[in-house]
Amino acid sequence: MQPVDLDVPAILRDGIGRTHGGAAWIDQLPELVERAVVRWGLEFGEPFRTGYASWCAPTTAVGGRDAVLKIVFPHDEARHESVALRAWDGRGAVRLLDDAPEDWALLLEHVRPGTPMTEWDATAEERLTAGADVHRELCGAVAEPGSLVPDDLRAALPSVLEVCRGWSDLLADRAARAAVEGDLDLDPGLVALAVTSLRDLPASADADVVVHGDLNPGNLLRAPDGRWVVIDPKPMRGDPAFDLWPLLSQVDAPFRRAGAADVLRPRLDLVADRTGLDAQRVAAWSVARACEQALWTWAELGDLALADRELQRAAVWASLVD
C-alpha cells in the first residue's frame, strides 16, 4: 500500500510530536490514514488545525455522507473514546459512525456548523446553561437517574473511584516532594482537602454515569439544530459531579476578575441547579481537580508559575466549600 502524501498541522507536530513516541507516530500517520481511506472508501479534505494529540479531517464516505476521520495518538485517556460515543449514540455527543481500534481510528459525524463554545458570542451564564444541559443529557443517555450503568460499560470503562485513588496517592507524594524542594507555595490544608476529596468523593457518589472527563467549552460544538454536542471524551464511569470543573473554570476567565469567589458562587449554583447536583460537591471536586492539575504541572512540565496559579485557583474553590 502506497501511503498518502499527508498534511500534518503544526499544532500536532508541536504538540504530541514533541513527546516520547509522538514523532514516530506522526511518521506512521500516512499509512494509518491510507488504511482508513481504503477501509471506509473515503475522500478527505484539508485537516483541521486543532488538536494536540489527534489528526482530524473532513471526509466524504461512500454514498456521499459527510464525516470526520480522526486518528488518535495512542494514550490511556483516549483509549475508551469510542466506547463512550457508542453508548451515548448521539445524545449530547457527536455520533460515532464506525471505528478501527487497532489503528485508533474513528469515523465521526461531521457536526455543522461545528462552532466551539469558546467562539459563541454569549454570556458566561448562557454558556454555562448550555453546557450544563449537555452534561445532564449525557448523564441520562445510558441509564436512568439513580441507576447503574449497564454491566458491559462497567467492564469496559475505568472507574472514577479507581482513577482518583491513584491520583490521591500521587498528589500526596508530589506535594511531599514539592514541600521538600520548597519551590511551590503549598498550603498543607488545601492539599489535605484535595487528597481527602479525591479519596472520599468517588466512594460517596449516589449516581453512576458515564462521565466525559474533559468537559471544557472547547469540546462543545454547535450542532445543525442549534443544540450543543461534546467531542473528545476521556471517559470514565462514576460521580457526575466530577465533570463540571473544566466548564466552570474555562467558560470565560473568572479568575482574572476581582473577587473570583463572588463570580463563581452564582455560577456554581446555576450549574448545580441545571444538572440536579449538589453545589458543594461540585466545588469540592473543583478543589481536588485543580490541585491535582497544579501538582501534575509542577512534576511533569516544571512550570512553577502555572502550577502556582492553579494552586491559587484551587484556594478560591476551597473558599466555596462550607
| Nearest in space to 314 (alpha carbons), one of 175, 200, 180, 179 | 175
Peptide bond into 113 cis (omega under 30): yes
Question: 161 with 238: CB under 8 angstroms?
Answer: yes
The Cα 271–Cα 184 span in angstroms is 32
- The model's pTM is 0.91
| Nearest in space to 6 (alpha carbons), one of 36, 21, 27 | 27
Q: Tens digits of per-residue pLDDT, 50-69?
A: 888 999 999 997 778 899 99
Domains delineated in the chain? 10-109 (3.30.200.20), 117-318 (3.90.1200.10)
- Supply 73's cell numbers: 495518538
Question: 105 with 147: CB under 8 angstroms?
Answer: no
The pLDDT, as a whole number, for residue 167 is 97
What is the per-residue DSSP string for 48-79? PS--SSEEEEEEE-TTS-EEEEEEEPP-GGGT
The pLDDT, as a whole number, for residue 145 is 55
Average of per-residue pLDDT values in the chain:
92
Question: 29 with 71: CB under 8 angstroms?
Answer: yes
The pLDDT, as a whole number, for residue 147 is 57
**pLDDT less than 50: residues of the chain:** 1-3
The pLDDT, as a whole number, for residue 3 is 46
| SS3 category, 110 | coil
Question: 136 with 230: CB under 8 angstroms?
Answer: no
Question: 53 with 15: CB under 8 angstroms?
Answer: yes
The pLDDT, as a whole number, for residue 1 is 41
The pLDDT, as a whole number, for residue 94 is 96
The pLDDT, as a whole number, for residue 166 is 97
The pLDDT, as a whole number, for residue 211 is 95
